Amino acid sequence: GQNIDQPTEMTATEGAIVQINCTYQTSGFNGLFWYQQHAGEAPTFLSYNVLDGLEEKGRFSSFLSRSKGYSYLLLKELQMKDSASYLCAAYPSGGSYIPTFGRGTSLIVHP
């Protein structure tokens, strides 16, 4: 089975940097996704990490350490529109393509 942990809520100030952590415990692992979900909307894809290291994509970056079962999403130059829930999802190995999602981290950006 898989277990995903991430903080329930975080707050930050517009223009600042915030790091959202995600730890996972899996019987097998084949990649980690981050999704953004605004209230009342569908989750949308942000990033995918398979190998250790940092993947940078504009203001958003995602990091993975497979040995530590740890990932983080880094958001720079925060904007009000970044207020949303951020979902971490781990894909298992072994031929099962069903990702397990964390409960999501609700990020509130203040002016």
Residue 48 makes contact with another protein by CB under 8 A? yes
Contacts of 77 (CB under 8 A, 6+ apart): 15, 17, 59
Residue 30 near another protein by CB under 8 A: yes
Closest distance between another protein and the C-beta of residue 98, in Å?
A: 5
> Residue 105: enclosing H or E segment and its boundaries?
strand 105-110
Q: Does 102 bind another protein (CB under 8 A)?
A: yes
Name the site residues for another protein (rule: CB under 8 A). 4, 30-31, 33, 35, 41-45, 48, 87, 89, 91, 96-104
